[in-house]
């Protein structure tokens, strides 16, 4: 039997050797200790900060 690595559920273009089912998008317990999960969290936090900075800037100048 050949083991096939499936994509990480958090980061594009990263393969996960622990995922077994392409249909199952639920994170496993081990996902929360993975470096790719921490990368995902960092990137989402950066996106959120950027978004709110843009909203704040628009509000400051009265742009909707």
Domains held by the chain: number: 1
**53 part of a folded domain:** yes
**20 part of a folded domain:** no
Per-residue 3-state assignment (H helix, E strand, C coil) for the chain: CCCCCEECCCCCCCEECCCCCCCCCCCCHHHHHCHHHHHHHHHHHHHHHHHHHHHHHHHHCCCC
Segment 26-35 long-range contacts (CB within 8 Å, at least 24 positions apart)? 34/8, 34/10
Domain range for 37: 33-64
**9 part of a folded domain:** no
Whether the predicted pLDDT of 1 surpasses 60? no
Q: Which pLDDT belongs to residue 54?
A: 95
Whether the predicted pLDDT of 2 surpasses 70? no
**45 part of a folded domain:** yes
Report how far residue 6's alpha carbon sits from residue 17's, in angstroms, rounded to the nearest whole number.
7
Q: Which pLDDT belongs to residue 3?
A: 63
**48 part of a folded domain:** yes
**26 part of a folded domain:** no
Q: What is the rounded average pLDDT of the residues 53-60? A: 93
The predicted-structure confidence for 8-50, as pLDDT tens digits, reads as follows 999 999 999 888 888 888 999 999 999 999 999 999 999 999 9
């Amino acid at each position: 039997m050949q083991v096939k690595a499936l994509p990480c559920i958090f980061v594009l273009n990263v393969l996960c050797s622990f995922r077994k089912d392409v249909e199952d998008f639920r994170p496993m317990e081990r996902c929360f200790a993975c470096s790719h999960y921490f990368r995902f969290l960092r990137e989402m936090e950066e996106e959120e900060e950027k978004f709110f900075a843009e909203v704040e800037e628009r509000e400051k100048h009265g742009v909707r």
